[in-house]
Structure 1
Amino acid sequence: MQIKVNTDTTIEHHASLDEHVQTVVAAALNRFGEQISRVEVHLSDKNSQKSADGDNRCLMEARVAGYQPIAVSDHAATLHQAIAGAADKLKRAVDSALGRLNDKRHSPAPVAAEAEVEEE
Protein backbone atom coordinates (compact mmCIF):
# COMPACT_ATOMS: atom_id res chain seq x y z
CA MET A 1 0.00 0.00 0.00
CA GLN A 2 1.40 3.34 -1.06
CA ILE A 3 0.74 6.31 1.24
CA LYS A 4 1.15 9.82 -0.16
CA VAL A 5 1.06 12.87 2.12
CA ASN A 6 0.10 16.33 0.82
CA THR A 7 0.05 19.53 2.85
CA ASP A 8 -1.21 23.03 2.20
CA THR A 9 0.99 26.11 2.61
CA THR A 10 0.12 26.53 6.29
CA ILE A 11 1.59 23.17 7.36
CA GLU A 12 5.30 22.43 7.33
CA HIS A 13 5.86 19.18 5.43
CA HIS A 14 8.75 17.27 6.98
CA ALA A 15 9.99 13.68 7.29
CA SER A 16 8.69 13.13 10.82
CA LEU A 17 5.17 14.15 9.73
CA ASP A 18 5.37 11.66 6.85
CA GLU A 19 6.54 8.93 9.22
CA HIS A 20 3.72 9.67 11.67
CA VAL A 21 1.08 9.54 8.92
CA GLN A 22 2.59 6.32 7.49
CA THR A 23 2.52 4.68 10.94
CA VAL A 24 -1.05 5.70 11.77
CA VAL A 25 -2.49 4.78 8.36
CA ALA A 26 -0.63 1.47 8.15
CA ALA A 27 -1.79 0.49 11.64
CA ALA A 28 -5.41 1.34 10.80
CA LEU A 29 -5.52 -0.38 7.41
CA ASN A 30 -2.99 -3.24 7.66
CA ARG A 31 -5.71 -5.91 7.83
CA PHE A 32 -6.92 -4.97 4.34
CA GLY A 33 -3.52 -5.87 2.87
CA GLU A 34 -3.38 -5.95 -0.90
CA GLN A 35 -6.95 -4.71 -1.39
CA ILE A 36 -5.85 -1.09 -0.96
CA SER A 37 -3.37 0.13 -3.55
CA ARG A 38 -2.94 3.74 -2.42
CA VAL A 39 -3.97 6.16 0.31
CA GLU A 40 -3.71 9.90 -0.28
CA VAL A 41 -3.60 12.11 2.81
CA HIS A 42 -4.29 15.84 2.56
CA LEU A 43 -3.47 17.97 5.60
CA SER A 44 -4.59 21.56 6.02
CA ASP A 45 -5.02 24.23 8.65
CA LYS A 46 -8.03 26.47 8.07
CA ASN A 47 -6.79 29.06 10.51
CA SER A 48 -3.00 29.19 10.64
CA GLN A 49 -3.23 30.93 14.02
CA LYS A 50 -3.19 28.16 16.61
CA SER A 51 -6.08 29.58 18.66
CA ALA A 52 -9.16 28.04 17.09
CA ASP A 53 -10.31 24.51 17.96
CA GLY A 54 -11.11 22.19 15.10
CA ASP A 55 -9.18 24.12 12.50
CA ASN A 56 -6.83 21.27 11.52
CA ARG A 57 -8.22 19.05 8.81
CA CYS A 58 -7.12 15.65 7.54
CA LEU A 59 -8.69 14.23 4.39
CA MET A 60 -7.87 10.63 3.48
CA GLU A 61 -8.77 8.89 0.24
CA ALA A 62 -8.23 5.16 -0.22
CA ARG A 63 -8.08 3.42 -3.59
CA VAL A 64 -9.65 0.01 -3.09
CA ALA A 65 -9.49 -2.70 -5.74
CA GLY A 66 -12.93 -3.29 -7.26
CA TYR A 67 -14.53 -0.28 -5.58
CA GLN A 68 -14.84 3.46 -6.00
CA PRO A 69 -12.34 5.58 -4.04
CA ILE A 70 -13.34 6.04 -0.42
CA ALA A 71 -12.78 9.47 1.16
CA VAL A 72 -13.19 10.65 4.75
CA SER A 73 -12.13 13.73 6.66
CA ASP A 74 -11.71 14.78 10.25
CA HIS A 75 -11.32 18.15 11.95
CA ALA A 76 -9.52 18.48 15.28
CA ALA A 77 -7.63 20.88 17.52
CA THR A 78 -4.28 19.29 16.63
CA LEU A 79 -2.98 17.79 13.42
CA HIS A 80 -2.17 14.48 15.13
CA GLN A 81 -5.75 14.20 16.43
CA ALA A 82 -7.12 14.94 12.95
CA ILE A 83 -4.87 12.26 11.42
CA ALA A 84 -5.90 9.66 14.01
CA GLY A 85 -9.59 10.55 13.63
CA ALA A 86 -9.49 10.34 9.84
CA ALA A 87 -7.59 7.03 9.95
CA ASP A 88 -10.24 5.56 12.26
CA LYS A 89 -13.05 6.79 10.00
CA LEU A 90 -11.27 5.42 6.92
CA LYS A 91 -10.82 2.03 8.57
CA ARG A 92 -14.57 1.82 9.29
CA ALA A 93 -15.51 3.06 5.81
CA VAL A 94 -13.22 0.56 4.05
CA ASP A 95 -14.45 -2.24 6.30
CA SER A 96 -18.03 -1.37 5.48
CA ALA A 97 -17.38 -1.02 1.75
CA LEU A 98 -15.45 -4.28 1.48
CA GLY A 99 -18.10 -6.04 3.53
CA ARG A 100 -20.79 -4.90 1.08
CA LEU A 101 -18.59 -5.80 -1.87
CA ASN A 102 -17.90 -9.28 -0.49
CA ASP A 103 -21.58 -9.79 0.31
CA LYS A 104 -22.46 -9.07 -3.33
CA ARG A 105 -19.77 -11.43 -4.62
CA HIS A 106 -20.65 -14.30 -2.29
CA SER A 107 -24.41 -14.06 -2.14
CA PRO A 108 -26.27 -16.91 -3.80
CA ALA A 109 -28.24 -16.23 -6.95
CA PRO A 110 -31.74 -15.05 -6.15
CA VAL A 111 -34.30 -17.83 -6.19
CA ALA A 112 -37.26 -17.21 -8.45
CA ALA A 113 -40.41 -16.88 -6.42
CA GLU A 114 -42.99 -19.51 -7.10
CA ALA A 115 -46.08 -18.11 -8.70
CA GLU A 116 -49.06 -18.28 -6.46
CA VAL A 117 -52.03 -19.97 -8.05
CA GLU A 118 -55.41 -18.75 -6.96
CA GLU A 119 -57.98 -21.44 -6.57
CA GLU A 120 -61.41 -20.69 -7.93
Structure 2
Amino acid sequence: MKIQFNTDANIHGTEELAARVSDSIEHALDRYQSHITRVEVHISDESKGKSGLHDHRCMLEARLEGRQPVAVTEHAATLDQAVNGAAKKLAHRLETVLGRLQDHRPKASVLPVDETELDVDADVDKV
Protein backbone atom coordinates (compact mmCIF):
# COMPACT_ATOMS: atom_id res chain seq x y z
CA MET A 1 0.00 0.00 0.00
CA LYS A 2 1.50 3.29 -1.10
CA ILE A 3 0.65 6.49 0.80
CA GLN A 4 0.73 9.76 -1.12
CA PHE A 5 0.96 12.75 1.22
CA ASN A 6 -0.31 16.26 0.26
CA THR A 7 -0.60 19.47 2.28
CA ASP A 8 -1.98 22.90 1.52
CA ALA A 9 0.06 26.13 1.67
CA ASN A 10 -0.82 26.64 5.35
CA ILE A 11 0.75 23.39 6.60
CA HIS A 12 4.47 22.77 6.39
CA GLY A 13 4.77 19.18 5.14
CA THR A 14 7.85 17.92 6.96
CA GLU A 15 9.21 14.38 6.76
CA GLU A 16 8.29 13.92 10.42
CA LEU A 17 4.68 14.92 9.77
CA ALA A 18 4.47 12.64 6.72
CA ALA A 19 5.88 9.72 8.74
CA ARG A 20 3.49 10.33 11.66
CA VAL A 21 0.47 10.54 9.35
CA SER A 22 1.57 7.47 7.37
CA ASP A 23 2.01 5.44 10.57
CA SER A 24 -1.49 6.35 11.76
CA ILE A 25 -3.04 5.41 8.43
CA GLU A 26 -1.09 2.16 8.09
CA HIS A 27 -2.09 1.14 11.61
CA ALA A 28 -5.80 1.89 11.01
CA LEU A 29 -5.91 0.21 7.58
CA ASP A 30 -3.58 -2.72 8.29
CA ARG A 31 -6.40 -5.24 7.86
CA TYR A 32 -7.20 -3.99 4.35
CA GLN A 33 -3.67 -3.53 2.94
CA SER A 34 -4.02 -6.42 0.50
CA HIS A 35 -7.00 -4.67 -1.16
CA ILE A 36 -5.56 -1.13 -1.26
CA THR A 37 -3.11 -0.02 -3.93
CA ARG A 38 -2.75 3.60 -2.77
CA VAL A 39 -4.05 6.02 -0.16
CA GLU A 40 -4.02 9.72 -0.98
CA VAL A 41 -3.81 12.00 2.05
CA HIS A 42 -4.82 15.66 1.77
CA ILE A 43 -4.44 17.73 4.92
CA SER A 44 -5.20 21.40 5.25
CA ASP A 45 -5.70 24.23 7.72
CA GLU A 46 -8.91 25.86 6.59
CA SER A 47 -8.53 28.90 8.87
CA LYS A 48 -5.16 29.72 7.27
CA GLY A 49 -3.16 29.57 10.49
CA LYS A 50 -5.68 31.44 12.66
CA SER A 51 -7.17 29.71 15.64
CA GLY A 52 -10.53 28.15 15.00
CA LEU A 53 -12.74 25.28 16.05
CA HIS A 54 -12.46 22.25 13.76
CA ASP A 55 -10.30 24.11 11.28
CA HIS A 56 -7.97 21.19 10.44
CA ARG A 57 -9.16 18.95 7.64
CA CYS A 58 -7.98 15.52 6.53
CA MET A 59 -9.33 13.89 3.39
CA LEU A 60 -8.33 10.29 2.67
CA GLU A 61 -8.96 8.52 -0.60
CA ALA A 62 -8.25 4.78 -0.84
CA ARG A 63 -7.69 3.28 -4.28
CA LEU A 64 -8.89 -0.32 -4.27
CA GLU A 65 -7.93 -3.04 -6.73
CA GLY A 66 -10.66 -3.31 -9.37
CA ARG A 67 -13.06 -0.96 -7.54
CA GLN A 68 -13.99 2.68 -7.39
CA PRO A 69 -12.01 4.83 -4.93
CA VAL A 70 -13.40 5.32 -1.42
CA ALA A 71 -13.02 8.77 0.18
CA VAL A 72 -13.72 10.25 3.62
CA THR A 73 -13.17 13.65 5.24
CA GLU A 74 -12.72 14.63 8.89
CA HIS A 75 -12.60 18.10 10.45
CA ALA A 76 -11.06 18.53 13.91
CA ALA A 77 -9.39 20.98 16.26
CA THR A 78 -5.92 19.48 15.71
CA LEU A 79 -4.21 17.88 12.78
CA ASP A 80 -3.64 14.60 14.64
CA GLN A 81 -7.33 14.39 15.56
CA ALA A 82 -8.32 15.01 11.96
CA VAL A 83 -5.96 12.32 10.63
CA ASN A 84 -6.96 9.74 13.24
CA GLY A 85 -10.67 10.46 12.76
CA ALA A 86 -10.40 10.18 8.98
CA ALA A 87 -8.43 6.93 9.28
CA LYS A 88 -11.14 5.43 11.53
CA LYS A 89 -13.86 6.57 9.13
CA LEU A 90 -12.02 5.06 6.18
CA ALA A 91 -11.50 1.75 8.00
CA HIS A 92 -15.22 1.61 8.77
CA ARG A 93 -16.13 2.43 5.16
CA LEU A 94 -13.75 -0.26 3.87
CA GLU A 95 -15.28 -2.77 6.29
CA THR A 96 -18.64 -2.01 4.74
CA VAL A 97 -17.43 -2.16 1.11
CA LEU A 98 -15.09 -5.14 1.42
CA GLY A 99 -17.23 -6.99 3.92
CA ARG A 100 -19.99 -7.23 1.32
CA LEU A 101 -17.56 -8.77 -1.13
CA GLN A 102 -16.53 -11.48 1.31
CA ASP A 103 -20.06 -12.32 2.49
CA HIS A 104 -20.65 -15.22 0.10
CA ARG A 105 -22.27 -17.64 2.50
CA PRO A 106 -24.25 -20.36 0.74
CA LYS A 107 -27.89 -19.53 0.80
CA ALA A 108 -30.57 -22.23 0.75
CA SER A 109 -32.54 -22.10 -2.48
CA VAL A 110 -35.51 -24.00 -1.00
CA LEU A 111 -37.00 -24.28 2.44
CA PRO A 112 -35.99 -27.34 4.47
CA VAL A 113 -38.55 -30.13 4.28
CA ASP A 114 -39.53 -32.48 7.08
CA GLU A 115 -38.07 -35.89 6.18
CA THR A 116 -41.19 -37.75 7.33
CA GLU A 117 -43.09 -36.06 4.53
CA LEU A 118 -40.59 -37.46 2.00
CA ASP A 119 -40.98 -41.11 3.08
CA VAL A 120 -43.63 -41.99 0.49
CA ASP A 121 -42.98 -45.76 0.66
CA ALA A 122 -43.77 -45.81 4.38
CA ASP A 123 -47.22 -44.33 3.70
CA VAL A 124 -47.92 -46.87 0.96
CA ASP A 125 -47.08 -49.85 3.20
CA LYS A 126 -49.51 -48.62 5.87
CA VAL A 127 -52.46 -48.64 3.45
TM-score interval, normalised by the smaller of the two chains:
0.7 to 0.9
Inter-partner Cα distance in structure 2 for 1:6 and 1:50: 20
Q: Once the two structures are superposed, what CA deviation does each residue of 1:18-62 show, in whole Å capped at 9, x if it has no partner?
A: 101110000001111311110000011111233111011000000
Percent of aligned pairs sharing the same letter: 46
2:42 is matched with which residue?
42
1:83 matched residue in structure 2: 83
Distance in structure 2 (CA, Å) of the matches to 1:11 and 1:102 = 39
Amino acid paired to 2:27: A
Q: How does 1:24-39 map to 2 (within 5 A)?
A: 24-39=24-39
TM-score by length of 1: 0.84
Match of 1:10 in 2: 10
Q: Does 1:61 align with 2:61?
A: yes
> Structure 1 CA distance, aligned partners of 2:49 and 2:66?
41
SS of the counterpart of 2:33? helix
Q: Which has the larger radius of gyration?
A: 2
Q: Is contact 2:10-2:49 (8 Å) kept?
A: no
Structure 1: runs of 5 or more not aligned: 113-120
Structure 2: runs of 5+ lacking an equivalent = 111-127
The normalised TM-score by structure 2 is 0.80
Asked if 1:93 is matched to 2:93, the reply is yes
Say how many residue pairs are matched.
Answer: 111
* Residue pair 2:47, 2:55 contacting (<8 A) in 1 also: yes
